């Protein structure tokens, strides 16, 4: 529940100190409110995937597709409830990394930090700029040429970095604008789709099998993922104990509702034919509903959707690098704050440069197998951190969000995540195991190097 915080309560002071809920040395400005987090959650989840998913889900479940959205949405909300509770207690920058590090220490922190900003952030950025360019190259074939393709990558990533270096407020303004722009065509598509729907296209002949539901739920689970990265800017939220849980929960509920309505609209218009349009199902819906102009509008909307996420990534993931540097797990220069704009400029530039070279090299295509496993492991870590915080604190902290029902929801979330992990392919499990093994070696070499005594020169 949300309650008014009493700063003078000695219990609050004990918990604030024990949990390291804020980084006093960050030097960041707290300018983001609930509305900003809410919009950022939607922006980070409503990407190009929503324009492709309806056909994929319909191909597996037919007219029973909506069951997958509801089932997976409920499971995902269990995880997000854990994020809501722990984000109201740990209010520094870093998101998932910060929660895991505060609960389990520097080793778990180093692994989760690298999994988060590199294993997820860099590879997703590389994939998105390539996806954006692929769509654009259909109309402008010049972007199939490697040089011009790289130049477009540079413009996209460079612009996103520049906007976010200028200030969190500027970054959030652009994200809000782009999110509203991409939601308008989706809203119109849903309205027009329902207007032109046939009830026979929505009629279900049978319920989906548990196996099919499970397979599709894994796809949808990753489609819903990403909204939690809005919490990475905890050090820049106004009243974070309230802003973080409300923003993440309102945003994820809205996202799930949007996905459900889009699926029903597409299914209502195309019926059983929906599964045949895997490349651009919503464009086909728009084409049937309002003609060729609708097809163009949806393609443009998909580009705007990708562009919106691209602008949120340099906002979210460099804060993870900043938090790691603050905790002495990453080089200290990443913790430096721009004296004028009060943003982690060094971290933003470093993240953007790495993402650019990974995107140009194409290496993300081979290493992207670790993204899904990284996300699931981070979710498991956050849920376990929530449980540890619960067991560690025998009192309720005023002013924070608390999941009702004791440990029922966190444990259920762990079981659900375990089921999703079991659905991973062997190459994904091998890839993440090797990656964590390499990170562990790097961590312990670093520990040995730091602890190694310095030999004094002899006279």
- Structural domain boundaries in the chain: 30-450
Distance CA 247, CA 240 (A): 10
pTM: 0.85
Distance CA 132, CA 109 (A): 33
pLDDT 10s digit of each residue in the chain, 459 long? 333 333 333 333 333 334 445 544 456 778 788 888 999 899 888 876 787 788 888 887 877 788 888 888 898 999 999 999 999 988 888 889 999 999 999 999 999 999 999 988 998 899 889 888 988 887 888 999 999 999 999 999 999 999 999 888 778 888 888 888 888 888 888 888 888 777 777 777 777 666 777 777 777 888 888 889 888 888 888 888 889 999 999 999 999 999 999 888 888 888 888 888 877 788 888 888 777 888 788 888 888 888 888 888 998 899 999 989 988 888 889 989 888 888 899 999 999 999 999 999 876 666 667 888 899 999 999 999 999 998 886 545 667 788 988 899 999 999 999 988 888 888 888 889 999 999 999 999 888 877 655 444 454
First to last CA, the chain: 67
What per-residue confidence (pLDDT) applies to 169?
79
Distance CA 338, CA 341 (A): 6
For 203, other C-beta atoms within 10 Å of its C-beta total 9
What per-residue confidence (pLDDT) applies to 108?
94
What per-residue confidence (pLDDT) applies to 46?
85
What per-residue confidence (pLDDT) applies to 5?
38
In 3D, which of 42, 50, 49 has the Cα closest to residue 186?
A: 50
What per-residue confidence (pLDDT) applies to 370?
81
Is 54 within 8 Å of 262 (Cβ atoms)?
Answer: yes
CATH of domain 30-450: 1.20.1740.10
What per-residue confidence (pLDDT) applies to 157?
95
């Amino acid at each position: 529940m949300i309650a008014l915080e009493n700063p003078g309560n000695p219990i609050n002071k004990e918990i604030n100190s024990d949990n390291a809920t804020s980084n006093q040395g960050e030097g960041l400005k707290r300018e983001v409110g609930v509305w900003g987090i809410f919009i950022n959650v939607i922006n980070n989840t409503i990407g190009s995937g929503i324009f492709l998913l309806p056909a994929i889900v319909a191909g597996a479940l037919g007219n029973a597709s909506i069951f997958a959205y509801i089932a997976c949405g409920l499971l995902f909300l269990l995880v997000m409830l854990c994020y809501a509770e722990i984000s109201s207690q740990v209010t520094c920058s870093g998101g998932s990394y910060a929660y895991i590090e505060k609960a389990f220490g520097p080793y778990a922190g180093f692994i989760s930090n690298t999994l988060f900003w590199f294993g997820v952030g860099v590879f997703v950025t590389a994939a998105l700029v390539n996806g954006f360019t692929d769509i654009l190259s259909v109309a402008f074939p010049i972007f199939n040429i490697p040089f011009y393709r790289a130049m477009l990558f540079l413009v996209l990533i460079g612009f996103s970095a520049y906007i976010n270096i200028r200030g969190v407020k500027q970054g959030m303004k652009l994200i809000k604008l782009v999110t509203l722009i991409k939601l308008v065509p989706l809203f119109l598509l849903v309205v027009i789709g329902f207007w032109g729907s046939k009830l026979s296209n929505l009629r279900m002949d049978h319920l989906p099998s548990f196996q099919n539901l499970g397979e599709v739920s894994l796809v949808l689970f990753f489609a819903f993922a990403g909204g939690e990265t809005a919490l990475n800017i905890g050090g820049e939220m106004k009243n974070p104990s309230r802003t973080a849980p409300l923003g993440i929960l309102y945003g994820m509920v809205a996202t799930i509702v949007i996905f459900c309505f889009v699926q029903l609209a597409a299914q209502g218009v195309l019926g059983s034919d929906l599964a045949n349009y895997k490349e651009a199902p919503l464009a086909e819906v728009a084409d049937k509903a309002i003609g060729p102009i609708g097809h163009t509008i949806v393609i443009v909307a998909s580009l705007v959707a990708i562009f919106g996420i691209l602008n949120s990534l340099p906002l979210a993931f460099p804060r993870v690098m900043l938090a790691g540097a603050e905790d002495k797990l990453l080089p200290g220069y990443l913790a430096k704050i721009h004296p004028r704009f009060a943003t982690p400029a060094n971290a933003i530039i470093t993240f953007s440069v790495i993402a650019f070279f990974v995107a140009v090299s194409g290496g993300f295509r081979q290493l992207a197998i670790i993204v899904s496993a990284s996300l699931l492991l981070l979710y498991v870590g956050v849920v376990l951190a929530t449980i540890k915080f619960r067991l560690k604190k025998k009192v309720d902290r005023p002013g924070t969000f608390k999941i009702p029902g004791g440990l029922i929801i966190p444990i259920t979330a762990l079981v659900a995540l375990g089921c999703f992990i079991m659905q991973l392919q062997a190459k994904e499990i091998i890839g993440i195991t090797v990656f964590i093994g390499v990170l562990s070696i790097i961590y312990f070499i670093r520990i040995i190097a730091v602890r190694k005594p310095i030999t004094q020169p002899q006279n």
